[in-house]
């Protein structure tokens, strides 16, 4: 085995780094053999603007959608990718190993007191990550 040296690692978090709640990940293997991961969140898209007609006294007369009131409205989902990551095969294996250790720890100990119920239900714990 090669010579070992002692190194000091300082970890710093960018103060402008946002915390996102992801619903899933898209991606795959690139042509160069790296793993691309695109983390996304889904939400209902904002409705399209509508025009309403009012009398001078403020009473609603009609709107452009009056003829479609009995029609079931379509649901439009907005999927936004918040983070893109490229990993080498070794980095991907390391990530999987770390994630499996975190899941095993969660299975053994259960959720932390005060942790949101949703985190316990789906196995995610956004506050985790300090056990290394």
Question: Band of the pLDDT at 68, cuts 50, 70, 90?
Answer: low
Number of C-beta neighbours around residue 34 at 10 A = 16
- Does the pLDDT of residue 121 top 90, yes or no? no
Residue at 125 is within a domain: yes
Q: 99 and 36 share a domain?
A: no
State pTM to two decimals: 0.60
Residue 27 has phi, psi (to 5 degrees) of: 150, -160
Tell me what percent of the chain is helix, strand and coil, each rounded to the nearest 5: 25, 25, 50
Q: Are residues 19 and 67 in the same domain?
A: yes
Q: Is residue 128 part of a domain?
A: yes
Q: What is the mean predicted confidence (pLDDT) over 77-83?
A: 94
46 and 32 housed in the same domain:
yes
């Amino acid at each position: 085995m090669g010579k070992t040296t002692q190194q000091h690692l300082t970890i710093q978090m960018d103060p402008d780094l946002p915390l996102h709640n992801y619903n899933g990940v898209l991606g795959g293997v690139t042509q160069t053999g790296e793993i691309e991961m695109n983390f996304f969140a889904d939400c209902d898209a904002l409705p399209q603007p509508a025009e309403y007609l009012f009398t001078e006294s403020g009473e609603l007369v009609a709107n452009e959608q009056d003829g479609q009131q009995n029609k079931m409205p379509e649901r439009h989902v907005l999927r936004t990718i918040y983070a893109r990551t490229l990993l080498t095969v070794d980095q991907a294996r390391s990530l999987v190993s770390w994630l499996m250790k975190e899941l095993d720890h969660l299975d053994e100990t259960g959720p932390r007191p005060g942790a949101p119920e949703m985190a316990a239900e789906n196995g995610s714990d956004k506050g985790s990550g300090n056990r290394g």
